[in-house]
A and B are shown apart, each in its own frame.
Chain A
């Protein structure tokens, strides 16, 4: 294969398809972590939502019911996580990892119990979420660039993709221009100050966890009822951790975090494209080395450009009214 086979347009489209999984999860993490609760359980919530969404969508043959059920379960788990790390003041890292492990096992066991297909749900078939074709797509499809731009790049994705991108300004607005956002940030930065200002720290954190649960569920639903069309064990495949990385990378700010997600999506797409490409001088780089690209880039970027990321100050610390 030649170097000219390398298609930039396809990389961009692929980036847009890859990013939502990370974007939902990263925004979920953003709510939790800006409120001071480390959310290592993104992975677990994603899996749970992916399973429940797929199972319910299959049972009802309606993707929207699936998404709704996914929201419910993910929110419930987030509240449980809240109970452990806010009410019980338990170690938030432990809570997160424990939930990930437990849900990785439980989703398999349940999927196996109900469907008997080795921890897989049946194919959703028509109960998958359809791709939206923008009005007038046929008309512009033939036009060079514009056609591609309108029908492939910004059009032809599922509703969840648009929701993911719409979240960026929305989360920004909530965080910086609403009462909830102000309180959320205060609680994550200095809960004692917030408490002294008459804010119920625990309630605010619970609200944040609820947001995190809801957002994270879309990530799971996207995996199972948009990208794959069924649930498979451990299908989150580390995306929850990658989303956290994007969050750190984006300094816990919505716009930068979304950029981080897009960057990961981009490198994943790039990696697919350069597999098997003959580089002048280098020859064919082995696939397993190309798989490293997104991770190496992250490390390099973290070490170089964005060395100083500043976490919310109270992150990981349960709020205890004491010295």
Chain B
């Protein structure tokens, strides 16, 4: 049978970076084809070429056996190609309906088409069991639902070749399951699906064939049935991956953080955090598990000083954190850092880095006050030295301190942020989604470092939607739902079903 997509000797370079080098492989029609590889291996670039977003420097692209020169996404769409991007491509202040309509409005006047489409969307949602209201605004929706909107768009446009770039990075287990259900339906309908993910289990669960990329080249394509996680991981990283990391026995020290009666009510009078009570002791990792959007982000923001709570006290080593008497949190995170609280923010692009600064300038973001010498002059010599050390220690690629950080791949940006926060030798470390969008090799090393910190006596609060990650790192697990802590368990008692129920809000106090 003719392959749906065939890449022939595709190469693409950005400045000094060769993102794709002589990439050739093909994707069978009606199959689900996985693409995996380390951060920066060139997966997104390759798919962007297929979708007409970038143009290859050289090489050929065959769609259904025909050579095509896809110059823009419009032409890709015309060829029946659809893509769900790593970062959602939605217009936030528009409704779901308008987003789906955008680009295929079917006429100059919208009114009539809007009515028709609304009905059509409701039908599609029913058929594929997608719970989306076409009239909701995107900005009011959780990431999971936004993901569904992206899928909805593709169904509506009846894309025959569907590219999904890390669609599950921000999804919960349940959401992933329902996405996969839809993908299987697609496959039954004869559609071709390309799935990029860093989660090998997903590759094994759903794909027919998988292509592994490394440093811009294809290192191999294998039938999923004939492989396993270990083999794939080794192909990807070029060495075996340690899945069970060693850790010292659980021996927590004194209480570092003590949260009592913490409440947060937002401007719309919605209660985001409800009467939270917990503590973290030195040398333990407490993980907060939960579906994203249930208060974890707000909790991290309060504990890092980025947001004021409405009521309650938080004590750090017995002393209350200085929330009292403030009108806003402007500048407060600096005080918190001085108290020894480090913070790896969930949304690294928004909060964690200044995109237009170089890696070096980002390597001390938040700690700039410490570096000022006489007259507040910055000591670039020391900064550069420290930065280079961090880059090599955390294996950031490329290890160029003067590169604009926006040009690093997501995983490498995350390494820079982690490196910076860990280097501040904190007493309490707040970590949000540390491995979102990060390849398994990097996950391994980041996990190892977090565990080493724990062993060195740092108190760590981990927020993660990945149950695997929670299990691998946590000593104690708190489950959050609807702004409440709905349950607590030790890692030895780990039970995915029970946690799932607690995350669903079925709590018993």
The answer to A–B direct touch (Cβ < 8 A) is yes
Looking at A179, A185, A189, A196, which has the most chain B CB atoms within 10 Å of its CB? A196
The answer to whether the Cβ of B108 comes within 8 Å of any Cβ in the partner chain is yes
- A182, B102: Cβ atoms under 8 Å? yes
Q: Does B182 contact A (CB under 8 A)?
A: no
| Pair A193/B90 contact, Cβ less than 8 Å | yes
| B466 CB–A CB distance under 8 Å | no
The reply to whether A323 and B90 form a contact with Cβ atoms under 8 Å apart is no
Q: By the criterion CB–CB under 8 Å, are B101 and A182 in contact?
A: yes
Residue of A nearest to B78 (CB): A198
Task: Indicate if the CB atoms of A200 and B72 lie closer than 8 Å.
Answer: yes
Stretch touching chain A among B92-100, B126-134, B172-180, B209-217: B92-100
Check: B234 CB closer than 8 A to any chain A CB: no
Are B406 and A194 interface neighbours, CB within 8 A? no
Q: Judge whether B83 and A194 touch: CB under 8 Å.
A: no
Residue pair A196, B54 in contact (C-beta under 8 Å): no
Task: Verify if B89 is at the interface (C-beta below 8 Å from A).
Answer: yes
Q: Is the CB of B83 within 8 A of A190?
A: no
Within the assembled complex, what's the spacing in Å between the Cα atoms of A191 and B88? 12
Chain B 10-66 residues near chain A, CB threshold 8 A? 51, 53-54
A179 lies within 8 A of B107 (CB): yes
* Cβ-closest chain B residue relative to A179: B105
B77 on the A face (CB < 8 A): yes
Q: Does B189 contact A (CB under 8 A)?
A: no
B103 at the interface (CB under 8 A from A): yes
* Cα-based distance from A192 to B73 in the complex (angstroms): 11
On whether the beta carbons of A194 and B102 are closer than 8 Å, the reply is yes
Q: Within A231-258, which residues are at the interface with B (CB < 8 Å)?
A: none
Complex contact A179–B90 (CB within 8 A): no
B101 touches A178 (CB 8 A): no
Whether A199 touches B103, Cβ cut-off 8 Å, given contacts A177-B110, A323-B407, is: yes
Q: Is the CB of B92 within 8 A of A190?
A: yes
Cβ of A183 under 8 Å from chain B = yes
The number of chain B residues touching the other chain, given as a range, is 20 to 34
Bound Cα distance from A115 to B142, whole angstroms: 64
Whether A321 lies near B89 (C-beta < 8 A) is no
- A196/B74 in contact, CB under 8 A: no
Q: Judging by beta carbons under 8 Å apart, are A190 and B108 in contact?
A: no
> A185 touching B407 by the CB < 8 A rule?
no
CA distance A105 to B457 in the complex (A): 70
- For window 167-198 of A, CB contacts with B under 8 Å fall at 177-183, 185-186, 189-190, 192-198
Query: What is the 8 Å Cβ interface bit string for chain B, positions 109-135, against chain A (1 contact, 0 not)?
Result: 111000000000000000000000000
A192: nearest residue on chain B (CB-CB)? B89
> For chain A residues 303-323, which have a beta carbon within 8 Å of chain B?
313, 321, 323
**A321/B53 in contact, CB under 8 A:** yes
Chain B contacts for A182, CB-based, 8 A: 94, 98, 101-102, 105, 110
A198 and B103 in contact, given A178-B109, A321-B54, A323-B407 (Cβ under 8 angstroms): yes
**What residues of A have a CB within 8 angstroms of the CB of B94 in the complex?**
182, 185-186, 189
- Find chain A residues with CB under 8 A from B99 CB: 193
Query: How close is A34's CB to chain B, nearest CB, in angstroms?
Result: 11
CA distance A233 to B319 in the complex (A): 68
A180 to B110, CA, bound (A): 10
A179 to B101, CA, bound (A): 9
Beta-carbon contact of A196 and B91 below 8 Å: no
A196 and B111 form a contact (CB under 8 A):
no
Measured in the bound complex, the distance between the Cα atoms of B88 and A321 in whole Å is: 15
Which positions in A face B, CB cutoff 8 Å? 177-183, 185-186, 189-190, 192-200, 313, 321, 323
Q: Residues of B at under 8 Å CB distance from A?
A: 51, 53-54, 72-74, 76-78, 83, 85, 88-94, 98-99, 101-105, 107-111, 153, 355, 406-407
Q: List 17 A-B contacts (CB under 8 A).
A: A177-B110, A177-B111, A179-B109, A180-B108, A182-B98, A182-B110, A189-B92, A189-B93, A190-B90, A192-B89, A193-B89, A196-B83, A198-B76, A200-B74, A321-B53, A323-B406, A323-B407
Top 7 A-B pairs, shortest CB-CB distance: A197-B103, A198-B74, A196-B89, A193-B89, A179-B105, A198-B77, A198-B103
